[in-house]
Amino acid sequence: MNRTLTSLLARIEENQKRSLATPQEVKVEDEVHLLPNWSDSVRRVPNVALRSALFGAIGKGHRPYVEQMEINALGGIGIVYTGALLDQGDLDVWETVLHLARMQELGTECRVTAYRLLKILGKTDTGKNRKILDKHISRLKATALQIKVGEHSYEGSFIHEVYRAKDERSERIYAIRLNPKLHVLFNGSQYTNVNWSVRQALHGKPLAQWVHGFYSSHAKSYDYKVETLHQLCGSRAKSLSDFKKDLRRSLEAVARASTAEGQPFSYLLEGNLVQVKTTPSASQQRHLAKKR
């Protein structure tokens, strides 16, 4: 019997054993995980990234490196982070990587050209933008996370591994692999469909982007204190009064961008309290209906 036939018979026998195995006998590493699919008009993002300072509302400049830092987050979410502090530009890139990887098994290699990544991000393909993209991807790779949401937990990085190559036309390619365990961050209703057009319209306004993502993650908006939002977004504002001014401008920017996309967003900022009224998505409306 030749080696090829022997190998084939061995694989058939192994598959038969797996089909007869009980769920407890199937190895965890053999499980296949796919991200829930979504349309091109949105980016599906785990709520841990939207309801915390994990991707902060910070501008350009020096990025401190932190070790085992507890990240401010809404109740029910626990985050311990090691790496360079991340911003909304890093979140744009991670959302795009998730978007591209959603059509294949988690843990398999996702290959994409630098040109295509920049195009999806709404950026021109220039040397400067490629260098910035490189930095984003490297930062996302060099992260260590310990996340706990309810009964679920994840420990790993935003990007498990990445290498850079060139195709036959000398086009720059990223080969990116995500950790299969990332699927736990999408369990239940622990994610949000963020309108991509609105988010892109807010490019260059980190606090406005954070505000949009934060309130998008709420099926029904709650009233928050200015101090609470200041802590949750990771702002570097020197004073609470400075932050409040930036917050008002950001809320107004979100209201304009959202209304332009047919998603009315209104707010009231009086004293130390922020009240927001949003347009729930179809899935959020179903969630509210079930609660009622």
pLDDT of res. 285: 59
Q: At 140, is the pLDDT very low, low, confident or very high (cuts 50, 70, 90)?
A: very high
Strand spans (E) along the chain? 42-46, 55-56, 65-70, 77-84, 86-87, 109-113, 144-149, 152-156, 161-166, 172-177, 191-195, 224-225, 266-270, 273-277
The string of pLDDT tens digits covering residues 97-120 is 999 999 899 999 999 999 999 999
Q: How many CA atoms lie within 13 A of 78 on its CB side?
A: 10
Q: Which of 202, 226, 203, 224 is nearest to 215 (CA)?
A: 224
The string of pLDDT tens digits covering residues 45-77 is 999 999 999 999 998 878 899 999 999 999 899
Give dist(CA 179, CA 160) in Å, integer: 5
DSSP state of 53: S
Helices 88-101 and 206-216 pack at an angle, to 10 degrees, of 50
For the chain, what is the radius of gyration of the CA atoms?
A: 21
Interstrand relation of 42-46 and 191-195 (parallel, antiparallel or unpaired): antiparallel
Torsion of CA 101, 106, 107, 108, to 10 degrees: -60
Q: Is 260 left (phi over 0), alpha (psi -120 to 50) or beta?
A: alpha
Neighbours of 73 (CB within 10 A): 21
The string of pLDDT tens digits covering residues 180-211 is 999 999 988 899 999 999 999 999 999 999 99
* CA distances in angstroms from 252 to 92, 235, 262, listed in the order given: 21, 18, 15
pTM, 2 dp: 0.86
Give dist(CA 221, CA 229) in Å, integer: 13
Concatenating the DSSP letter of every residue in 227-263 gives: HHHHHHHT---SSHHHHHHHHHHHHHHHHHHHHHTT-
The string of pLDDT tens digits covering residues 204-253 is 999 999 999 999 999 888 999 999 999 999 999 989 999 999 999 999 99
Joined tokens for residue 47: 């709520």
| Neighbour-count burial of 158, counting CB atoms closer than 10 A to its CB (0-12 exposed, 13-18 middle, 19+ buried) | buried
* CA distances in angstroms from 257 to 208, 230, 233, listed in the order given: 10, 22, 20
The answer to whether 79 and 147 have CB atoms below 8 angstroms apart is yes
The answer to whether 143 and 162 have CB atoms below 8 angstroms apart is no
